[in-house]
Structure 1
Amino acid sequence: MGRRHRDALFPPAAVERLARHVDIDPQLVVEDAGGFDRIADLASVELLVTSWGCPPLDAAALARMPALKAVVHAAGSVKHHVTEACWDRGLRVSTAAAANAVPVAEYTLAAVLFANKRVLEIGGLYREHRTALDWSAHFPGFGNYRRTIGIVGASMVGRRMLELLRAFDFDVLVADPHLDPAEARTLGARPVDLDELLALCDVVSLHAPALPETHHLLDTRRLALMRDGATLVNTGRGSLVDTAALTAELRSGRLHAVLDVTEPEVLPADSPLYALPNVLLTPHIAGSLGGELLRITGSALEEVERYCAGREFAHPVSRAALSVSA
């Protein structure tokens, strides 16, 4: 992992907890592919603890670690470093994606609630006029009661969102080709196809993985299906949305957006999305940051302890599941 991530994720108390179960040199950090070559003794390594910045675990790296049996990832997606060679070796892989999903869902829920309440626009008008206006006249029908919310992708974050939304007076729809309709209803949502969801929802929240088949999932045609005044929330992947098509809709004023991820990331300095009053841009902050990182640490430590006790991982990653997930 990157050294700065080691410092943030594994403070002394966490290292001490690790050391109760495994032999570890807390100063030994591999943050580039050449790092494996600079370590004299890798032959006995049985377990890797990884995080953001881990170099690919390709065939060459694995050849240096003939005893390696498992990888515990103290972050979300393992796609950046777990290669086909890892699956061919039969490595067990765990991820803290479930822990990282919590703050993303919290951010997204706040975005949904603020979007329906028109907090961004009202805050701007209040700042500009510095007096109370007739907000209902400016935003007829605004508020959160009986609004229709659409979740695109029953990923870990999508499922966490469905759980959180059940506490509110919302009608919730979900679109995911891999989700069984009966399970969708168990999660508290009505399953529909994506086009229907876009046409019916006041807020559409994206939680699909970045895959070839989801590239520009929301293109010109699909964005045009969204209701006038609807809000698009993207805390998933920037590539899910055609940025040019979305920019055109937002510049017209027909739609609103809360975007924590974009394509490209970061947007060019001259992008109109920075200045549009119906857009909230944040710099990929929905995931775990600051004190939230310790939730990921706790998840990874628990997985190490489970491994050392001869138990199955609580959050395993499989080769098959990875092909349709983030």
Structure 2
Amino acid sequence: TPRTPSISVRCCPGRPATRGGGTLAHGGPGGEPGGVPHDARGAPLGSALDQARLGAALARLAATPVRRLLARPELPAGRALAARGLPQRTVEGFLRPLLSALLCDPGLTTSSRCADLALHAFARGRLCLPEGGADALPELLAAALPPGTVRTGVRVTAVAADRVTTAEHGELTCRGVLLATDARAAAELLPGLRVPAFHPVTVVHHAVPEPPLAEPALLLDADRRGPVAHTAVVSHVDPTRAPAGRVLVSSTVLGPPPDDLDRTVRAHLAALYGTPTDRWELLAAHHTREAVPAMPPPHDLRRPVRLLSGLYVCGDHRDTSTVQGALHSGRRAAHAALADLGVAPALKESPLPTAA
């Protein structure tokens, strides 16, 4: 599998201190699973007591079985945060920007159960990136299949349980069809499937002469002073992604992108990193209007993946709207297809959805 170096988490308070106010806030992802967050300069996590209370809350969440998280009352995540018994400074300065990043939902309208799953995963594990980029996993999967199995660049126009109609190769017959697409494409091929609302996301990549941070860290804007929700020196995690002789900084804008995107983002990044960004070169900006399916309460974390024998659908719109949710729905769909074909899966399916 691809190497996945871990990433710590930093928050920026409203008033820049040294290095733009970058405040070290290691949770599970920055240290040991369930580790206690700490703040190098007392902001934005508050006093030592506040930090200890946050660490204890995350440790309790990490130890809570998923089935108990899913039995909690379901509210919008933003409202549920206020009921956690933590100081408002901690909630607003750490939990809210962290959850916004994990869920791609700046308004935190997501189901509190999905938010709890995201925090549960954060408290138990680490943030990471696959070496070689997002294509590494599907490329590894495809490489394990017989030559000629995977066809790309083929446009599908219709699907049924025993056939796929394509624009380039006509009709292909089969014993079953598993549709693994985004929610809108799935509904176009299988009318009647629900199309949810979406959260738009813009990812901006800059080539930078020197790294603005010395360590792999996800930098969150606790005060929401600009368009960037979070940013990282990605080449600290995976050096193969950077242009020769430079480093790669990738930043994420949640919601509609601002006008004059590059200038506005660089101005915000200058404040977050505490360094001039005039020499930063824009490599690419990718805006996806329907990037992440919304998960307002009540949210069904296990939408059916088996529509009928021989016809299956998977994607982040069938579980939680995360990479983990998409992978989990794919496993559920694969197990359903194997069962219909009379093939026993090599691995048993977990009884509950995995965390966001």
TM range, normalised to the smaller chain? under 0.3
TM-score of the pair, normalised by structure 2: 0.23
Q: Which protein has greater RCO, CA pairs closer than 8 Å, 6+ apart?
A: 2
TM-score of the pair, normalised by structure 1: 0.24
Task: Report the structure, 1 or 2, having the larger helix content.
Answer: 1
Task: Report the structure, 1 or 2, having the larger strand content.
Answer: 2
